[in-house]
Chain A
Amino acid sequence: AQTVTQSQPEMSVQEAETVTLSCTYDTSESDYYLFWYKQPPSRQMILVIRQEAYKQQNATENRFSVNFQKAAKSFSLKISDSQLGDAAMYFCALAENAGKSTFGDGTTLTVKP
């Protein structure tokens, strides 16, 4: 069975600073995908960034980047130059090729002005 663990229920960061959210996972598959989704308060969940397990290069999307450590089964999200609009709950998710998706329990990020 696949599992996703987010060990930080809450994190805070000062505006314009950098913050890293942690995620570890477990799967018996060698081919899978990892995602970070953002869920702002009372708003829809949207994709932040995705990583294919077969790619060694870490994914980046503007101010968002990941540190993917396949052997350690670790997938952290780094947010640079944090903005007030980054405040949200962030979910790490794992999807195997067979299709089933598993989400972590989320990290609530607070951005302080």
Chain B
Amino acid sequence: EAGVAQSPRYKIIEKRQSVAFWCNPISGHATLYWYQQILGQGPKLLIQFQNNGVVDDSQLPKDRFSAERLKGVDSTLKIQPAKLEDSAVYLCASSLSPAGGGTDTQYFGPGTRLTVL
């Protein structure tokens, strides 16, 4: 079974530029998560999708971050414009259950390491 795929693996941009990350979850998984993991900290949930609807985006900085999940499969996370404090690893995860998805085991991708200069 293929795991969660993410691209790119690394990205370096200047502040005020825009960047986009892509995630392909495990086939059949209804719930998809985007996390931000700053060095030395635990992952912080940015947004959670259930199929193609948003379950929780309370910690997503909506003035600069946006995310979508088309057709309930792949997802993209965008930052525009980027700030220095956005430097982090962005993790995508998926879980099987369409209901109460947060209580299911989450399967993580390798992450995208973003550096903002």
Residues of A within 8 A of B48 (CB): 99-101
CB pair A45–B42 under 8 Å, yes or no, is no
Q: Mark B44-59, 1 if CB is under 8 A from A, else 0.
A: 1100101000011010
- Chain A residues with CB under 8 Å of chain B are 4, 6, 32-33, 35, 37, 43-47, 50, 91, 93, 95-106
User: Chain B residue with minimal CB distance to A103?
Assistant: B42
Given A44-B108, A99-B48, list of 15 further CB < 8 A pairs? Answer: A32-B103, A33-B103, A44-B110, A45-B91, A91-B42, A91-B43, A95-B103, A97-B100, A99-B31, A99-B55, A100-B102, A101-B33, A101-B102, A103-B35, A105-B42
Q: What DSSP secondary structure best describes chain B's contact surface?
A: mixed
Q: How many residues of chain B are within 8 Å of chain A by beta carbon?
A: 27
Decide yes or no: A105 and B105 within 8 Å by CB, A44-B3, A44-B110, A99-B55 being known contacts.
no
Question: What is the CB-to-nearest-CB distance from A10 to chain B, in angstroms, rounded to a whole number?
Answer: 11
In the complex, the chain B residue whose C-beta lies closest to that of A108 is B40
A-B contact pairs, 12 of them (CB 8 A): A4-B42, A44-B3, A50-B105, A91-B43, A95-B102, A97-B102, A97-B103, A99-B50, A99-B101, A99-B103, A103-B42, A106-B41
Q: List B residues at the A interface (Cβ < 8 Å).
A: 3, 31, 33, 35, 40-45, 48, 50, 55-56, 58, 91, 93, 100-103, 105-106, 108-111
Chain B residues, CB < 8 A from A37: 108
User: Do the beta carbons of A99 and B42 come within 8 Å of each other?
Assistant: no
For B97, the closest partner residue in chain A by CB is A99
